A = this chain, B = another copy of it.
Amino acid sequence: MATKNVRGIEPAVVEPVAGPRERYRAQVRAEVQELAWVQVTQTGASGLSLKAIAKQMGITAPALYRYFASRDELLTELILSVYRELAELVEAAAGARDADRDKLIATATALRDWALANPQRYLLIYGTPVPGYAAPPSATELAQRIFAPLLASFPGTPDQVLRQSLTFWTRLHGVISLEVAGHFRGMPFDPSELYADEVTSTVAGLP
């Protein structure tokens, strides 16, 4: 969609050709999604309510149907945006390093930091599945983009490498998900130390 102008210079605004109506649409959509996030953060995915969002915007609920076909479509967009956000974050963390081990450590660190800063976002994609809601097919591709940076080129058959990466991932998730869900609360240790130990010892164990 983004087009360059005649001299090949990227314009400052993202969608420069859009008329005022399209620009307005984009703004409203963004505002809806923002309020939706506040809701999901406070009440979980099942608490997402179009009527409540409309109320907060000082608008009637049917008006939202100009911007989203249904509640499920809005939820889907939220979920996909989480996948995208996390994929970019993880790719950036991995891309900034050369050595495989550094890459893995940087990625793991970025993952936890992000999860702690956005617990509900993390839980939205890795937590209890929303009953009756099926993620769109594109979510699977994005999930793989998140997983890919954990695939490092260590010696071994493709199967072994996959297994190592998977295990790295499940270990990170084990610590992060328990912490994010509050299961470490009141326990006599520092979760960030536990995580750091887990990351370094796992990376050190790789061939």
Contacts and interface: CB of A to CB of B under 8 A. Distances in A.
Which of A143, A173, A174 counts the most chain B CB atoms within 10 A? A174
A183 to B, nearest CB: 7
Nearest to A143: B183
A163 B189 CA distance: 8
A8 interface: no
A167 B196 CA distance: 11
Nearest to A144: B187
A167 to B, nearest CB: 6
Given A163-B189, A194-B170, A181 B44 contact: no
B163 A194 contact: yes
Copies of this chain present: 2
A44 B46 CA distance: 10
Contact of A194 (B140, B166, B175, B198): B166
- Chain A interface SS verdict (over half): helix
A46 B47 CA distance: 9
Contact of A128 (B169, B175, B181, B198): B181
Contacts of A128: 44, 123, 127-128, 181
Nearest to A140: B186
A170 B166 contact: no
A132 interface: yes
Given A162-B189, A167-B194, A170-B174, 6 more contacts: A44-B130, A126-B181, A128-B128, A170-B171, A170-B178, A173-B174
9 contacts: A43-B132, A127-B181, A140-B186, A163-B197, A166-B187, A166-B194, A169-B174, A170-B171, A170-B198
Lowest 7 A-B CB distances belong to which pairs? A174-B174, A127-B128, A170-B174, A44-B131, A128-B128, A43-B131, A46-B46
